[in-house]
Chain A
Amino acid sequence: GDSVTQMEGPVTLSEEAFLTINCTYTATGYPSLFWYVQYPGEGLQLLLKATKADDKGSNKGFEATYRKETTSFHLEKGSVQVSDSAVYFCALIGGTGGFKTIFGAGTRLFVKA
């Protein structure tokens, strides 16, 4: 079946550092890919998405490119802030699982001032 694998956390960075959180997936067909963010005490919020190969999703300085050849959707940000501290989930929909979303395990990010 479909699956999403994320790098294990926690990831600890200093403010203004460059962020990469790796995400790879296994799915049949042409899934859409998402990054969600979860701040403490809150639910998941959609951060960005890409619906086809080579699409780049972007929001709030975060970017991720849908790479079908490497089945990857790595999240990047050029300069992180303390307020970016959260848990980040990579996810896909539209593969074997149909309308159900397949989530990665989440990666916790800590940003130090």
Chain B
Amino acid sequence: NAGVTQTPKFRVLKTGQSMTLLCAQDMNHEYMYWYRQDPGMGLRLIHYSVGEGTTAKGEVPDGYNVSRLKKQNFLLGLESAAPSQTSVYFCASSSDRVKQPQHFGDGTRLSIL
């Protein structure tokens, strides 16, 4: 099925470990986004990309890095995980046509101990 696929779905890390979350979309979308969702905080934009090879900071970028080497993939990295990064992470993509809605993956639930 067409859409946005996130891997892994669940992960538990220890403080200081690193990991990469993968997002893949097969809709040929130009724009891709990483959000985190925490209780009572809604969705907060971490980083986004407006096309292959580009990335930009969102609302809460500290402690995260991203890469968009291929148009269909958007990677989110945690270099040294901290308990404050325990969250549910969502990837989304959208067309570069004006005012198009975003398509979301099912999320990655990440716990940092």
Contact surface of A with B, Cβ cutoff 8 Å: 31-32, 34, 36, 41-46, 49, 51, 89, 93-94, 99-101, 103-106
Contacts and interface: CB of A to CB of B under 8 A. Distances in A.
Nearest to B48: A100
Q: Contact size class for B?
A: 20 to 34
Given A43-B107, A44-B104, A104-B42, A99 B94 contact: yes
B96 interface: yes
B104 to A, nearest CB: 3
B103 to A, nearest CB: 8
B95 to A, nearest CB: 10
Given A99-B31, A100-B45, A105-B42, A43 B101 contact: no
A67 B59 CA distance: 28
